[in-house]
Structure 1
Amino acid sequence: MKLIDAADYAELSRAAAGIVVEQVRKRPDSLLVLPTGNTPVGMFRDLVAAAHNGDVDFSRARFAMLDEYAGIGRNDERRLYHWIRKELFDPLGVRPGAVIAFDPEADPECEARFVEQRIARQGGIDLAVLGLGPNGHIAMNEPGSDADSRTRLVTLTPATIRSNAAYWGSEAKVPRKGLTLGLGTLAEARALVLLVAGGGKAAILERVLNAAPSDAIPAAILGAHPAFTVVADRAALGLHA
Structure 2
Amino acid sequence: MEVIVLGAESERAALVADAITDLLWGATDAVLGLATGSSPSPVYAELVRRHDVGQVSFARATAFSLDEYLGLPPGHPEGYRQVLEREFVGLVDLSAERLHTPDGQATDIVEACAAYEAAIVAAGGVDLQLLGIGSDGHLAFNEPGSSLASRTRVKTLTPRTRADNARFFDSPDEVPHHVLTQGLGTILQARHLVMLATGAGKAEAVRQAVEGPVSARCPASVLQLHPHVTVVLDPAAASRLELVDYYLAVWADKPAWQGI
What does residue 43 of structure 1 align with?
A: 43
**Cα distance, 1:201 vs. partner?**
1.0
Cα deviation digits, residues 13-32 of structure 1 (max 9, x gap): 12121221122122111111
**Cα distance, 1:161 vs. partner?**
0.4
**Cα distance, 1:205 vs. partner?**
0.9
What does residue 139 of structure 2 align with?
A: 138
Over 3 Å off, 4+ runs: none
**Cα distance, 1:208 vs. partner?**
1.3
In 1, are the aligned partners of 2:57 and 2:93 still within 8 Å (CA)? no
The within-5 A match list for 1:179-194 is: 179-194=180-195
> Which AA in structure 2 matches 1:224?
L
In 2, are the aligned partners of 1:8 and 1:234 still within 8 Å (CA)? no
For 2:88, what is the secondary structure of its paired residue?
helix
Matched, 1:167 2:168: yes
Q: Distance in 2 between matches of 1:109 and 1:228?
A: 30
Q: Distance in 1 between matches of 2:235 and 2:204?
A: 13
What does residue 212 of structure 2 align with?
A: 211
Aligned length: 239
Higher mean displacement: 191-200 or 70-79: 70-79
Q: Distance in 2 between matches of 1:128 and 1:80?
A: 16
Higher Rg:
2
Q: CA RMSD in A?
A: 1.2
What does residue 68 of structure 2 align with?
A: 68
**Cα distance, 1:228 vs. partner?**
0.6
**Cα distance, 1:40 vs. partner?**
1.2
Q: Distance in 2 between matches of 1:219 and 1:23?
A: 24
Gaps in structure 1 of 5+ consecutive residues:
none
The within-5 A match list for 1:46-195 is: 46-106=46-106, 107-195=108-196
**Cα distance, 1:93 vs. partner?**
2.6
TM-score of the superposed pair, with normalisation by structure 2: 0.89
**Cα distance, 1:147 vs. partner?**
1.0
Gaps in structure 2 of 5+ consecutive residues:
241-260
Higher mean displacement: 128-137 or 65-74: 65-74
For 2:149, what is the secondary structure of its paired residue?
coil
Q: Distance in 2 between matches of 1:22 and 1:170?
A: 41
**Cα distance, 1:163 vs. partner?**
0.4
In 2, are the aligned partners of 1:126 and 1:190 still within 8 Å (CA)? yes
Cα deviation digits, residues 51-97 of structure 1 (max 9, x gap): 11222121111000110001222222221110110000010132111
Q: Distance in 2 between matches of 1:51 and 1:127?
A: 18
> Which AA in structure 2 matches 1:39?
S
In 1, are the aligned partners of 2:137 and 2:220 still within 8 Å (CA)? yes
Higher mean displacement: 198-207 or 127-136: 198-207
Q: Distance in 2 between matches of 1:9 and 1:237?
A: 14
In 2, are the aligned partners of 1:109 and 1:152 still within 8 Å (CA)? yes
Q: Distance in 1 between matches of 2:59 and 2:27?
A: 12
TM-score of the superposed pair, with normalisation by structure 1: 0.96
> Which AA in structure 2 matches 1:85?
E
For 2:124, what is the secondary structure of its paired residue?
coil
Matched, 1:233 2:246: no
Q: Distance in 2 between matches of 1:73 and 1:171?
A: 16
In 2, are the aligned partners of 1:9 and 1:197 still within 8 Å (CA)? no
In 1, are the aligned partners of 2:32 and 2:64 still within 8 Å (CA)? yes
